[in-house]
Amino acid sequence: MKREPVVAGSFYPASRKALIELIEACFMSEIGPGELPKKPDRSLEKNVALIVPHAGYVYSGPVAAHAYAELAKLGDPKLVVLLGPNHTGYGARIGVWAKGSWSTPLGEVQVCEEAAQKLLKEFKEASADIRCHVAEHSLEVQLPFLQYIFKDFEILPITMFPASLQVCESLARALDELLKNFCSTVLVVSSDFNHYEDDVTTKWKDQLAIEEILKRDAEGLYRVVANHRITMCGLSPVACLLYMQSFSKPRLLKHATSGDTSHDRSHVVGYASFIFE
């Protein structure tokens, strides 16, 4: 089955030309890395993970661009595992798009059916379910950035509802096993940080979460999110990454809020990008 884009024309432009122009503007932005990434001329030689935001490109695109710029320096991946929150409430608690393709204005990307079946066999709490993906934006908005830089990669899309730490740890083990069989893989974890409070409050709350991520402390992250009511939508996907053994110490690349682009600092959303090598 082919998944058509659902947020083209809203979160990012629906035309190829306008989309490329906006992606390049994200890279060139003062909030972004300030230069266009070079297209890799070699294959990715290790597995890498990112945490990136998933709002409209005009708001979060420059922050996401920092992660994709760093990734571009490392080489072309063969597989990109996309792990993000289910905002819609439809479908399985942990849902895998197991076959077919996803389309954006930049073209079509094939789903890696082999990786999907291995994960579903390894992790019984996941289900092959398209319902949790058809209207969800958190993974779709990552694809144009990936397509702009890389070539000939496949994807494994996974969404999840908020989950217990035990479920996150189990999924992390399953993903670690998967990555043992798939080298040159990138795990893209999609999450925005605090939502709809003023800029000062959001930056303070985000920093509490960022500190736990840098310590790779999933339990600590859950604790500060609960204690300080941090409205981080990708909490469970990020916790899964923190439990994984496939990656070493994380590095924070950029933290900003929507107020940095909209200049309305009364109600903002926090964004951060990280790389785990």
| Per-residue pLDDT tens digits for 37-88 | 999 999 999 999 999 999 999 999 999 999 999 999 999 999 999 999 999 9
The confidence score (pLDDT) of residue 90 equals 96
Distance CA 267, CA 197 (A): 5
- The pLDDT assigned to 258 comes to 96
Which pLDDT score is estimated for 19?
98
Q: Among candidates 140, 141, 267, which has minimal Cα distance to 194? A: 267
What does the pLDDT read at residue 128? 98
Coil, strand or helix at 226: helix
Q: What is the pLDDT of residue 213?
A: 98
Q: How do residues 5-42 score in pLDDT, each as one tens digit?
A: 999 999 999 999 999 999 999 999 999 999 999 999 99
Give the pLDDT confidence score for residue 183 in this predicted structure.
87
Which pLDDT value is given to residue 201?
98
Confidence at 249, pLDDT banded by 50, 70, 90: confident
Q: pLDDT at position 17, please?
A: 98
Q: Is 42 helix (H, G, I), strand (E, B) or coil?
A: coil
The helix (H) or strand (E) run that includes residue 127 is: strand 127-128
Percent of the chain with pLDDT over 90: 97
Q: Is the pTM value of this prediction over 0.85?
A: yes
Distances (CA, A) of 56 to 6, 8, 9, 138, 211: 13, 10, 10, 10, 25
Instruction: Provide the edge-to-edge strand list for the sheet that holds 101-104.
Output: 2-3, 101-104, 107-110
Give the model's confidence band at 119: pLDDT under 50 very low, under 70 low, under 90 confident, else very high. very high
Cα–Cα dist 89/85, whole Å: 10
Task: Kindly report the average pLDDT of the chain as a whole number.
Answer: 97
Q: What are the residues whose beta carbons fall under 8 Å from the beta carbon of 211, sequence distance 6 or more?
A: none
Whether pLDDT at 236 is above 90: yes
- Residue 138 CB coordination number (10 Å): 28
